[in-house]
Amino acid sequence: MRRRFLTSLVVFCASALGAGVSYAAPIIYSFEAPVFTLGQTTPLLNKPPDAAGPATFLTSFTDAVDANGYVISNVHNNNLMVGQTLFELTATSALTLTFNTPVTQLSVDFAINTGFAAPGSLRLVTPSGTVNQVGSNVGGGFPGGTLNFTTATPFTTATLEGFQPGGTVPTQIEIDNLNLTPIVTGVPEPSTLGLLAFGSAVLIGWRRKRRTSPLA
């Protein structure tokens, strides 16, 4: 009984030590000046959020197929696009997002160039999972919508790519209002470290005493 209690004490202390991980307020990219300049193309490297969030959070927007494949635009292809947006110039290019802090949530408004026909889809690919969000008529021209993805497994890279109906032929996309939820790893409080050290010392002392006690 006493051994189980002491072991549980150390487990509790270790759990308290790991409690430094928390979730921060959402990061928002709306692609507005002065962080993003109208007409600027990818690569857009180490950009802080322009709408909400700390300047220490950085995202890089790159295109592996055409280095300059995306441009900051103010031509709105549906009613979800507001102010400046990020528009795809090259239909065969996926947009890669790279974060300097792991995130567990991503959402983004989008427009899909399907020739004003049936709605296409936006595909999000991350190491933690893949989402295909089918567009709909949201007014203003191109079909679109809002893609939402939440996971318990943090990730630091993601790709976005638009597809014509059927999900095999790439097409142009436009995105706006990129929302991210990062994780924050806090530094343990001195009291937490002290609690862990105390629990470990008690367990070690008990084991030593047990080894040196004479047999009954």
- The whole model's pTM is what? 0.76
Give the separation between CA 102 and CA 105, rounded to whole angstroms: 10
Give the separation between CA 133 and CA 43, rounded to whole angstroms: 25
Contacts 24+ apart (CB under 8 A), 43-48: 43/67, 44/70, 44/72, 46/100
Please identify which residue in the block is written with the tokens 């497994």.
153
Q: Spell out the domains of the chain, with CATH numbers in brackets.
A: 21-185 (2.60.120)
**How much is the average pLDDT of 165-191?**
83
Q: Are the CB atoms for 154 and 104 separated by under 8 Å?
A: yes
Interval 202-211: pLDDT, tens: 445 545 555 5
Structure tokens at 173: 């996309």
Interval 76-124: pLDDT, tens: 999 999 999 999 998 889 999 999 999 999 999 999 998 756 789 999 9
